[in-house]
Amino acid sequence: MNHVIDVQGLTKDYGQGRGVFGLTFQVERGEVFGFLGPNGAGKTTTIRQLMGFIRPTAGRATILGMDCFARAAAIQAHVGYLPGELSLMDDLTGDGFLRFMANMRGMADLGAAGELKELFRLDGRQRLRKMSKGTRQKVGLVCAFMARPDLLLLDEPTSGLDPLMQSRFVELLLREKARGATILLSSHMFEELERTCDRVAILRAGRLAAVERTEDLRRARTKRYRFSFPAPEAAAAFAAAWPGAAREGSGVTVALTGRDELPRLLCLAAEGQVSDMAVDGGSLEEAFLGYYGEED
């Protein structure tokens, strides 16, 4: 069995429809598993149960075969965790906090922490209380990754980071994935999940709406290819050769699901001497909105 995380019927009922209900999923060794959902969908509640911070109302969650609540201390010793809301020792400097956490984990070598600080351009000399939200988030990231754990639970890890640091986080995640780490990642960032995750779980009002492979979602989506031609006559000839194409002047739009027909479409466009092309749709965001529908 390769299940690192095994969740069966996990429920935490806070009343009035709040909490998570009947969650069942597994995370395999070496997999990056994404949690996607709006605020209040249950992502943080699920991760806190995996960390053993709260007892389930019903169901069970295990990590490496150990019950997440009964064996919380043993599990936490092997997990890199980043909470959605950081609670840090504000009187310490960033470096002081990292040294404190390293001592708690029995880490003698802080070389990895130094590399991570350089990656995120973190100056750890400032006291935590004076740091911006983004800088505090960098401290949390370094703390989660510095022991090079085999399992990482990350709740909104790029919250407060600028686009450059978000990109560096994705690079780090892909590097950890290549190393063989197992990662559960909760995020609102569609591109972040799409670039890193093998599978994505979509949560809606505390329940699983779907668990899909990212590649399957990508293949199943409809994309719209917009072609521009040098003259309306060329556009008309291209549109006539492709059933369902929509033409407007020198432009033609083709909706395509999957990739099988893409090579033929591009060859036909090249024969018509296409001058420009743009692609719309097919994002994880569209799949997510499809599960939530217009009501939300």
Q: Global pTM? A: 0.79
The tokens for 187 are: 């995020």
| Same domain, yes or no: 230 and 96 | no
| Same domain, yes or no: 30 and 147 | yes
Kindly indicate the confidence band of residue 46, based on its pLDDT and cuts at 50, 70 and 90. very high
- Identify the CATH number of the domain in which residue 253 sits: 3.30.70.600
| Same domain, yes or no: 65 and 164 | yes
Return d(Cα 150, Cα 192) in angstroms, integer.
20
Q: Are 65 and 207 in contact (CB under 8 A)?
A: no
| Same domain, yes or no: 234 and 147 | no
| Same domain, yes or no: 62 and 186 | yes
pLDDT of residue 294: 45
Q: Reading across the β-sheet that carries 182-186, which strands appear in turn?
A: 79-82, 151-155, 182-186, 32-36, 199-204, 207-213
| Same domain, yes or no: 263 and 142 | no
Domain residues for 226?
A: 221-292
Return d(Cα 215, Cα 282) in angstroms, integer.
11
Which of 165, 191, 213 delimits the end of a domain? 213
| Same domain, yes or no: 200 and 237 | no
Q: Are 44 and 84 in contact (CB under 8 A)?
A: yes
| Same domain, yes or no: 186 and 276 | no
Residues 251-288: tens digit of each pLDDT: 999 988 767 788 999 999 999 899 999 987 655 666 56
Which of 157, 191, 213 delimits the end of a domain? 213
Residues 118-171: tens digit of each pLDDT: 999 999 999 999 999 999 999 999 999 999 999 999 999 999 999 999 999 999
CB contact burial 121-142 (16+ within 10 A = b; e otherwise): ebebeeebeebeeebbbbbbbb
| Same domain, yes or no: 84 and 227 | no
| Same domain, yes or no: 172 and 257 | no
Return d(Cα 189, Cα 157) in angstroms, integer.
10
The tokens for 167 are: 């990109």
Which of 213, 246, 280 delimits the end of a domain? 213
| Same domain, yes or no: 269 and 208 | no
Kindly indicate the confidence band of residue 11, based on its pLDDT and cuts at 50, 70 and 90. very high
| Same domain, yes or no: 22 and 88 | yes
Return d(Cα 88, Cα 139) in angstroms, integer.
9
Residues 14-28: tens digit of each pLDDT: 999 899 999 999 999
Q: How many folded domains does the chain comprise?
A: 2
- Identify the CATH number of the domain in which residue 41 sits: 3.40.50.300
